[in-house]
Structure 1
Amino acid sequence: MTSLDRRLNAFRPDLADLRLKGQVDASRFSAGESARVTTPVLDVHSAPDRGAGMDTQFLCGQLVRVFERQAGWAWVQAERDGYVGYVSEAGLGDCNEEATHHVIAQRSFVYPKAELKAPIIGAHSMGASLRVVGEEERRGTRYFLLASGSAMIARHLSPISSLEPDYVTVAERFLHTPYLWGGASGFGIDCSGLVQLSMHMAGRQAPRDTDMQARGIGAPFDPAQTPLRRGDLVFWRGHVAIMLDSLEMVHANGHTMTVAREPLREAIDRIAPLYGQPTGYRRP
């Protein structure tokens, strides 16, 4: 009936986003309500079932539009990249308080108070956005105090308006991070998640999945005519890598099950028997 991408458009036979009225058939339409992710990392599933595949993850502070809440699940769409899926309703809260800072370390612990020797009570990934309400220094270590009353290492956070100058440098910080299908955080990440999160930290918007990125980031080019350089993206069927220079790339991959550096030529030869040659090159 419709060719709309279900990953980026909220519609089912019984319920759909009000903005899609006239484009899809549904027995009911809803404008939804705004909510904010309050848990460090919120898994996004393809169905309201923990056994269903995890398509992506949302980080603390991200805004979503909630179309349905039922049996502990919420059907939502992310404001940042438009991704649609089912999340645990317990991971959502209200939008009353604006975040002031985001995490710039790959991962950072949360303490119950400004004391690094205290037992941690949580951890956040790079890209999480939080509200800082104060600061404190103890034994030469500076802490930011959060609205919840907890504390984090100040050097691991930066004002929301502060952006990284080079998204590739951000990607390099994730070296050795475990590979996780659907992962989008410093605790576990996949190939397109690495591209999206690294670009986000540099103030660049990027779609979530590899096929979306292969169509929507930058402009395509032919490396036989235009030499590869730092920041270029190389795509295979279902995979993407970031060039560090003209010869070497970084990517989250199922071969090493980590984020790793690899010479492009070696990667092409290794991947070819399974997935063929690169399908395209794009320059952001």
Structure 2
Amino acid sequence: MSFGFCHLSIVPMRKDPSDTSEMISQLLFGDVFEVLEKTTKNWILIRNSYDNYEGYIDPKQQLEMNSEDFLASQENNFVNKEITNITSPFGQQIIPPACSFSGKEMKLNTMVFEAPEDIVEITKPNSEEILKLAMTYLNAPYLWGGKTPFGIDCSGLTQMVYKMAGIKLFRDAAQQATQGEVLNFLEEAKIGDLAFFDNEEGNIIHVGIIISPNEIIHASGQVRIDTLDHQGIFNKDIGEYSHQLRLVKSFL
């Protein structure tokens, strides 16, 4: 078993070992992973340590790390909450929010990465913090598999906001729906709870963050705020319901 470290700002994870394959998720700076398989010289199959999500990346877009450093990285409990700069052996680089840090300085072999001044230690989550973080993504464009303000999908939004707030979520909406505590009524939901939506076959296909008794922020075309009721999400732009409510879960 070998391990890797994401030293770039954003790295696409693909469904299959091909540049033309769909992007199913992304690695952000500071993510570490297990290398499950070296398929060719151009692709490796990896499992992200944060959420156990698997996909293919270009091996040139990672740095190899030993098992000791990999295990130590599991204790990383600092994040940045806005787009910022880091200093690396490769020079200055811009990183998106929700990157992982072990502290003000990260060392890998002989390389040193200096964290930005605004990284913070993850603390106990609260509704106000989740609301504040979610609003920083407002109007970000929708991107399948995306996890940054430059492009994000519905479960990427919830995962990244919750990560910065101190709650670990799985990657996909259907996976996230297996976490948390089920609420019997929408009226029981607090700001920061998650609402999940299904299709005609009953499969969970969408998720968003409740920000008031009748509003939700979610990624659909872009990160937007829409009306939420017992039926689902009402999109005022199209004048109809866009998503059917399946369940509401609390994580606070």
Q: For the structure 1 residues 251 and 210, does the alpha-carbon distance in structure 2 shift closer, same or farther, using more than 3 Å as the test? A: same
| 1:109 partnered with 2:74 | no
Higher relative contact order (CA 8 A, sep 6+): 2
Is 1:253 matched with 2:220? Answer: yes
Equivalence for 1:13: none
Larger radius of gyration: 1
Name the counterpart of 1:126.
97
In the TM superposition, 1:118-267 aligns within 5 A as 121-130=92-101, 153-155=116-118, 157-159=119-121, 161=122, 165=126, 166-214=129-177, 216-223=178-185, 226-237=187-198, 238-254=205-221, 257=222, 259-265=223-229
CA drift of 1:205 comes to: 1.4
The 2-side partners of 1:64 and 1:57 are apart by 12
One-letter code aligned to 1:128: C
With over 3 angstroms needed to count, the CA separation of the structure-2 counterparts of 1:105 and 1:269, relative to structure 1, is closer
* Structure 1 unmatched runs, 5+: 1-31, 114-119, 135-143
- For the aligned residues, what is the CA RMSD? 3.2
Q: CA deviation at 1:124?
A: 0.5
Aligned-pair CA distance for 1:211: 0.9
Q: Deviations over 1:143-170 (max 9, x none)?
A: x9x9967766513x224x5566433332
The question of whether the paired residues in 2 share the 8 Å contact of 1:38 and 1:61 is answered with yes
SS of 1:49's equivalent in the other structure is coil
- Change in CA separation of 1:90 and 1:274 when aligned onto 2, cut-off 3 Å: farther
Note the C-alpha offset of 1:172: 1.9
Note closer, same or farther for the CA distance 1:208–1:133 as it changes in structure 2 (3 Å cut): closer
Shift of 1:251: 1.0
Matched residue count: 231
For 2:98, give the aligned amino acid: G
Measure the CA separation in 2 of the matches of 1:163 and 1:92.
31
Alpha-carbon deviation of 1:240? Answer: 0.9
Corresponding residue for residue 201 of structure 2: none
Cα distance in 2 between the residues matched to 1:227 and 1:131: 37
Distance 1:246 1:148 in 2: 49
Aligned to 1:24: none
| Structure richer in strand, relative to its length | 2
Q: CA deviation at 1:260?
A: 1.8
| TM-score normalised by L of structure 2 | 0.77
Q: % of aligned pairs identical? A: 25
- d(CA) in 2 for partners of 1:212, 1:186: 22
Q: Which residue of structure 2 aligns with residue 11 of structure 1? A: none
Alpha-carbon distance, 1:103 to partner:
4.2
